[in-house]
Structure 1
Amino acid sequence: MSAETELLASLPNWAFGFALVLARVGACFSILPGLGEADTPTVIKAGIAVGVSGLILPAALPLLPGADLGPMRVLAVIAGEVGCGLLLGWLARLLVMALPIAGQVVAVQIGLSSVLNPDPALGSQTSGTSRLLALAGPLLILSTGLYAMPIEALVGSYHLFPPGRMLPGGDMAQTVAQATSGCFALAMRLAAPLLIAGLIWQCMLGLLARLVPSLQVYSMSMPGQVLGGLLVFGLLLKRILDAWIGAASAGFSVLPGL
């Protein structure tokens, strides 16, 4: 058999394999932090997913099932690939979600929770500090090279979750639950300085209101609370981002597949 004949005979397996790889990579890249942001044009995300799929295909092809599967089996395999990609992307996304959650806690403490801005990631509207940290997360991931770790986990996931096999539903649910709780715990740690300062400030205002009942505490304290809170937030912003980079690096290093 000539080389051209062998190439033509292998094309169906290559095409089917590329579709399976693209299903996992595309699902992961749709929510992957840094590369799958809602602000990123869909054409760019699709192009990156196709390019990465082409790079992964030669290494993943021996692990992929052949193209001689039945229609229902094909649908089941594709659904499993999409679910695996969404799992990896969501685990990485939760680490980035800690930043805007921390920003929302900060906004509540400094009195800016009612000043809302559009946010395609967390909802129709969110606070200014939350939006600022939401934009800082993808920027830090792309500038520090952290985006490479989820992609490495995606490549390694083909050995951990071989295509065509049932995904461990119980383990997946437990992993997502632990990652979600870790996301909120990280957000509270990042916002802890502003949270403590806000609690102390509110205790002081409560004592002042008890000592001078006729004083309009809210009207007098709000300007100082906003200005002082923004000053403290600005002074601590670099430390908050540095702490998040360390936590994100540690979190990415334990993604399934690494």
Structure 2
Amino acid sequence: MDLWNDIPNMSLLAAPAVLLLGRVSGFVMVLPLFGWTMLPMMVRAGIATLLTVFLACNGAMPSVDTLDQPLFALGALLVQEVLLGVAMGLAANLVFQSVQMAGKMISVEMGLSEAGIIDPVSGEDIDSLEMFLQMTFAILFLAAGGHRLLIGVLVRSFDAFPIAAMPDLGALTDMLVSAGADMLTFMLSLAAPTVAAFLVITVALGVLARALPEINVLFLSLPIRMGVGVLMAAALVPTLGTFSQDLGQWLHRNLGG
């Protein structure tokens, strides 16, 4: 009977850790690299648990006195923390996906959009160039210490958005809008040179078809587009290294990493 009466007190003691785990789990599950579907769910859960323990040991967990509320209120706070973590992870993931979108634009110009393979990262059907650019960027991002930046974003989020406090919805909205706008900017900056090269090729082939109607321009354009696309993709790899540094600066500027 005493144990039954102590359940509210036990839940109050566990509430800070649960709220902390809620934000960390929401952040990790949608985060680039950590949240990729090729990582088993148990591995992602283990990463979230380890980060929670690390943050709790470094003073990120709120005091029990601030959470002296009914159970339904604590449940609402848990949902709030999970959604806050998801919003922050989604903001980082949107900018990260700009590399894949740039690869998609280049693949369409090369004629590779129909040659799809299963992406082990997202489980979706993508083409080989998208996967190449995405995995290359992931390696460069990790080599540049991007994983530490992502963890830094999570650590500093507790200063900007304390646990159990009502978050600034305006700041969250601005963060997501900025992430979407920067995603398009990064995507166009990566794909623009290749798309411009294909535009020149298309115009040149159109002029050639007009001047020499007997030439099968469609048959001639396929190897030209493939060759130019491969060369432009190879030239894009060094740019991805610079882009990984730009993404790190974006994380530091917009998410406090």
Structure 2 match to 1:4: none
Q: 1:36 to 1:124 in 2, by over 3 A?
A: closer
What is the CA–CA distance in structure 2 between the aligned matches of 1:52 and 1:188, rounded to whole Å?
35
State the 1:19 CA deviation. Answer: 0.7
1:106 corresponds to: 106
Superposition pairs of residues 210-221 of structure 1, within 5 angstroms: 210-221=210-221
Give the letter aligned to residue 30 of structure 2. Answer: I
User: Which aligned segments of 4 or more residues in structure 1 are displaced greater than 6 angstroms?
Assistant: none
Q: Percent identity?
A: 26
Q: State whether residues 146 and 248 of structure 2, in contact with CA within 8 Å, keep that contact through their aligned partners in structure 1.
A: yes
Q: Structure 1 residues 103, 22: closer, same or farther in 2, change over 3 A? A: same
Measure the CA separation in 2 of the matches of 1:169 and 1:214: 63
The answer for the alignment partner of 1:159 in structure 2 is 159
Q: Deviations over 1:213-242 (max 9, x none)?
A: 3322111221121123212322x1332212
Distance 1:30 1:137, change over 3 A: farther
Letter in 2 for 1:195: V
Deviation at 1:63, TM superposition (A): 5.7
Cα distance between partner residues in 2 of 1:164 and 1:171: 17
Match of 2:116 in 1: 116
Aligned-residue CA RMSD in angstroms?
2.1
Distance 1:255 1:11 in 2: 38
CA distance in 1, matches of 2:188, 2:116: 21
Residue segments in structure 1 that go unaligned for 5+ positions in a row:
1-9
Name the structure 2 match of 1:80.
80
Query: For 2:256 and 2:65, how far apart are their aligned partners in 1?
Result: 20
Contact between 2:38 and 2:122, CA under 8 Å: does it hold in 1? no
AA matched with 2:169: G
| 2:21/2:52 contact within 8 Å kept | yes
Q: Structure 1 residues 11 and 70 mapped into 2: Cα distance closer, same or farther (>3 Å)?
A: closer
Moved more, 30-39 or 168-177: 168-177
1:45 aligns with 2:44: yes
What is the aligned residue count? 248
What is the distance in 2 between the residues matched to 1:55 and 1:14?
Answer: 18
- Measured in 1, the distance between the counterparts of 2:139 and 2:76 equals 36
Counterpart position of 1:208: 208
Q: Determine the C-alpha separation between the residues in 1 that align with 2:110 and 2:64.
A: 53
Amino acid in the other structure paired with 1:32: L
Do residues 24 (structure 1) and 35 (structure 2) align? no
1:1-258 aligned at under 5 Å gives the runs 13-58=12-57, 59-62=59-62, 66-119=66-119, 124-234=124-234, 236-258=235-257
Are the equivalent residues in 1 in contact too, given 2:62–2:163 (CA < 8 A)?
Answer: no
The runs of 5 or more residues in structure 2 that have no matched partner are 1-8
Give distance in 1, aligned partners of 2:140 and 2:92: 14
Does structure 2 conserve the Cα–Cα contact (< 8 Å) formed by 1:80 and 1:163? no
| In structure 1, distance between residues paired with 2:64 and 2:123 | 38
Q: CA deviation at 1:89?
A: 0.8
